[in-house]
Structure 1
Amino acid sequence: MKNKQKYYPRQTLIAFLLVLFAMPLGHALMILMEKFMGEGAMHIAGFMMGFVGLILVIIGVFVKGDTRQTLWGFIGGLLFWTGWVEFLFLYYARRYGVQPEIENGEIVTKPEYLIMPASFGLWMMVMTMYVFSTRNGCDFITWIQKVVFRTKRKVIAAQPMTRHTSIVTFMELNMMLWGLYLLLMFCYDKRFLGDHHPVTFLVGVGCLIGSFFILRRQLRLASWGANIRMAIATVVVFWVPVEVLGRLDFFKEIWIEPEKYTTQMICILVAFVALLVYIMFAAHKKKSHE
């Protein structure tokens, strides 16, 4: 008789919500900085935010404990992405006068996202390194290696990189955000598909279904650190249909106008901090009983 697979719904739900709440908070932070800071001060603050994020990730390399390393990498990665990726795209889009995409008198795509697809080659460069040089726990990369290398996989990608949990979390978050933003920008581009194209809708549906398969794997992870890292994959993939539906005005994206939805955004922030504190306390308690 086979042993039943054990599931960990508490860890999964809390980790999922932690990462999920971080998504609108990141959007809202950038919007508020754009609206209430002068342009020069905003770009300096954005650059400093990215720098602080990098420092947090590096600190995470030296702290002890899988959960704490994961949290340092996750929070540092969020600040890094917002400050040194999104704000730098914003800076150069404004500096060189890139115009937003406008439909029916409303901005549907901001200039910084219009120029983001130009980074596709850089994303592929990093992915080539991962595919040809590392063995890792990413199912997508592992699947590519199995398809491309077949029986030679163990020879070509023989061993993993030096593993620092903070760096792993940082790279997972940023590579997934980067890759799925590129996918969305390709889908929204009318020269290719367009936001109302059936393929764009299918991409959203496919990512929604895919997120449930990832969630199923996440449910099997007892460790807080591993569960949070899987939650990053779950939420980032789940966020694709959220973005697609928001683009189609299926619901109101309150994080785009956070100053109008102060109560809701504060509630999300409080919930995020509460979950973060709970995870740190639970991980410490678990370690002290081992």
Structure 2
Amino acid sequence: MSSEVNPSLSIINNSSNNLISIFRKPPVLGLLIIVLMFCEKMLMHSFTVITLYVLPEPWKWIIPAITGAIGMWLVVRGMGRDEVKGSLLGYTGGFLIWVSWMESAMPIIGHGANIPMVPAADGGTQGGFLGEHVFMQASGVFCIMTLIFIMFNKDVRCRMLLWIRRALRMDASVLGKPTQGYRPNVARVAAFEYFFVTWFMYVLMLVIVDPRTFGLHHPVTYTLCALVVIWGLYLMYKQTQQREVGLSIRYGIGATGVAWFIPECAQFYGEFYEFYLYANKHPVAMTIVLFLFIAILRLLWLTPINEKTQRSL
């Protein structure tokens, strides 16, 4: 039996590896993560609609309870892993916890507290608040206060909080020097970031379109929406410049969390059809979304890791 390596087979393998490596370098890496996380947002919206409005009791509460527990388990499993797998497990666990425990708990709180609905300013179907939306908007006070105290942490790595600190001239002389050699647990960081970015953007959107202030059709609302859209587009551009896979995943959580405001805003004004809210009517489209999500997730999971730095090669 010949032990010689087939040259053509080697060329094919090398070409395949080179092609795959392109997907883990900028700008393709950042674009893939944007697609991954946009697909996740669509799937999570479908999950919320199914659990809240399709499943009968008690399954509409049992399924989210189990899903959230799986999310928490994934975060724990990600602790101590390398930058890529830890970030992916933290991110996946974070969105499962939010879409199950948070999204399911808000209607219970809204209905249990008998929080009244707020009708749309123009009497239409867009821009009104359910009781849970009123509750979520009010929780923004606690979100902001918590973020302020997180910002005071000398070892915080959040780009937005670091930018605010620089703007306020809060340097090491005020907060103390960052801990030398400190490496945060990336799974916890990714899950925590997903939770707070989603919470903050949810509150921000509700504040902007609040029918009790300006409502949807007001120059102030148009201006604020435009500013957030520009912010989201800028962050997506910055996302395409990220070079390390683990860091790109964590940066993408914030970038996509802000950029998701764009389709949300567009649907308020009838410029975008949220097909993922009607998964039963669009099975082909949702199958494509699910396939893209799984395929990109697996591609990132198989990223080669530098054993010394625990980061992508």
What is the TM-score normalised by the length of structure 2? 0.81
Per the alignment, residue 216 of structure 1 pairs with 237
Q: Residue 130 and residue 154 in structure 1: after superposition, are their counterparts in 2 closer, same or farther (change >3 A)?
A: farther
Return 5+ residue gaps in structure 2 as ranges: 1-24
Equivalent of 2:177 in 152, 158, 170:
158
Q: Is the 8 A contact 2:30 2:239 kept in 1?
A: yes
Q: Is the 8 A contact 2:232 2:262 kept in 1?
A: no
Q: Residue 222 and residue 152 in structure 1: after superposition, are their counterparts in 2 closer, same or farther (change >3 A)?
A: closer
**Number of equivalenced pairs:** 281
Equivalent of 1:39 in 53, 57, 71:
57
Per the alignment, residue 91 of structure 2 pairs with 74
CA displacement at 1:100 relative to structure 2: 4.0
Q: Residue 138 and residue 207 in structure 1: after superposition, are their counterparts in 2 closer, same or farther (change >3 A)?
A: same
Q: Residue 141 and residue 151 in structure 1: after superposition, are their counterparts in 2 closer, same or farther (change >3 A)?
A: closer
Q: How does 1:18-167 map to 2 (within 5 A)?
A: 18-62=36-80, 64-103=81-120, 106=125, 108-148=128-168, 150=169, 152-159=171-178, 163-167=184-188
Q: Is the 8 A contact 1:69 1:166 kept in 2?
A: yes
Q: CA separation in 2, counterparts of 1:155 and 1:77?
A: 32
Return 5+ residue gaps in structure 1 as ranges: 1-6
Secondary structure in structure 1 of the residue aligned to 2:260: helix
CA displacement at 1:83 relative to structure 2: 1.6
Q: Does 1:269 align with 2:287?
A: no
Q: CA RMSD in A?
A: 2.5
Could you say which structure has the larger radius of gyration?
2
Per the alignment, residue 3 of structure 1 pairs with none
Q: CA separation in 2, counterparts of 1:254 and 1:134?
A: 43
Q: Is the 8 A contact 1:131 1:157 kept in 2?
A: no
Q: Does 1:185 align with 2:202?
A: no
Q: CA separation in 2, counterparts of 1:151 and 1:217?
A: 24
CA displacement at 1:265 relative to structure 2: 1.3
Q: CA separation in 1, counterparts of 2:57 and 2:154?
A: 41
Of stretches 50-59 and 209-218 in structure 1, the one that deviates more from structure 2 is 209-218
Q: Which amino acid aligns with 1:75?
A: T
Secondary structure in structure 2 of the residue aligned to 1:222: coil
Q: Residue 143 and residue 18 in structure 1: after superposition, are their counterparts in 2 closer, same or farther (change >3 A)?
A: same
Residue by residue, what CA displacement relative to the aligned partner does 1:50-102 show, whole Å, maximum 9, x if unpaired? 2221221121113x221100100110000111122111112222334444445
Q: CA separation in 1, counterparts of 2:124 and 2:233?
A: 37
Q: Residue 30 and residue 127 in structure 1: after superposition, are their counterparts in 2 closer, same or farther (change >3 A)?
A: same
Q: CA separation in 2, counterparts of 1:190 and 1:120?
A: 17
Q: Is the 8 A contact 1:133 1:157 kept in 2?
A: no
Q: CA separation in 2, counterparts of 1:143 and 1:285?
A: 30
CA displacement at 1:263 relative to structure 2: 1.8
Q: Residue 39 and residue 65 in structure 1: after superposition, are their counterparts in 2 closer, same or farther (change >3 A)?
A: same
Larger helix share, 1 or 2: 1
